[in-house]
Structure 1
Amino acid sequence: MVRPPLPPIDTRIERFDLAVGAAAEFLRSAWDDLRDVSFEIGDMPGETGDRGIPRWTVDTTRKRIIVWRLPIERLSHLHRDDDLHRRMMIESCVFRAAAEYL
């Protein structure tokens, strides 16, 4: 007996990873200064600052940008809560982190 094919697993975490990866690749191809920068994804920052919970952390000495998944997903106030607007929020955080890096 052959089982029907299962749909691909599509989780919130995988969609987040895909959005960050696509935005990072776009930025690397557009700016030479970002070619060697490591875009990483973390769940939650270890500490908060005076300005609240960061959505990203930039480390220019190590050429790293860390995008924090949980603060972006949980603390963003979207005017429309759908896949498109969630992806746009994730991409905007990656773009703003890259702008801070530059």
Structure 2
Amino acid sequence: MFGRQKASSSRAVASRRHGRRPIRSSMTGAHLPDPDSRVTRFEITARAALDLLRQEVGDELHGVHIGFATAPIGKGESEHPMYYAIDRNSRTILLYRMPIQRANVLHVDDAEHRQYFIGHCVHRAV
């Protein structure tokens, strides 16, 4: 009667989580890919740069296969083997996402300059 009242069960759960909401996964859910992930942003930016190049050079890129990988596994024929690999015999260019995204060469480290650098790497590789 005069003692302390029992806390409701939902409040007890919230206090165990230090005030965080009970939602732990992304808003898209566990079964759908995150539309704003680093991989998705990289591929969208790189594909946009490739589309611009294809519009400019036209048929010169016909038959050239361009792909994406997380990190380099070997050395290819390129000036910057950490960012991309070129196989001239099979007409393949492979861009490496993590080294490009983690590069410390930007004078301003923001989203816009990171997009510019991705486009720069695509242009250098092609």
Q: Name the TM tier (shorter chain).
A: 0.7 to 0.9
Seq. identity, %: 33
Letter in 2 for 1:9: P
Match of 1:46 in 2: 73
Q: Which has the larger radius of gyration?
A: 2
**Contact 1:37–1:63 (Cα < 8 Å) also in 2:** yes
Work out the CA distance in 2 between the residues paired with 1:53 and 1:62. Answer: 17
User: Equivalences for 1:27-38 in 2 at 5 Å?
Assistant: 27-31=53-57, 32-38=59-65
How much has 1:53 moved relative to structure 2? 5.2
Return the match for 1:61 from 78, 89, 92: 89
Runs of 4+ in 1 over 6 A off after TM superposition: none
- Unpaired segments ≥5 residues, structure 2: 1-26, 29-33
Match of 2:17 in 1: none
TM-score by length of 2: 0.64
How much has 1:65 moved relative to structure 2? 0.7
How much has 1:35 moved relative to structure 2? 2.5
How much has 1:11 moved relative to structure 2? 1.4
Mapped pair 1:88 → 2:120? no
Greater RCO between the two (CA within 8 Å, min separation 6)?
1
How much has 1:19 moved relative to structure 2? 0.9
Match of 1:3 in 2: none
Match of 1:10 in 2: 36
- Unpaired segments ≥5 residues, structure 1: 1-5
Return the match for 1:25 from 45, 51, 59: 51
Deviations 1:47-83 (A, max 9, x none): 358x885210111211111000111111232111111
- Could you say which structure has the higher helix fraction? 1
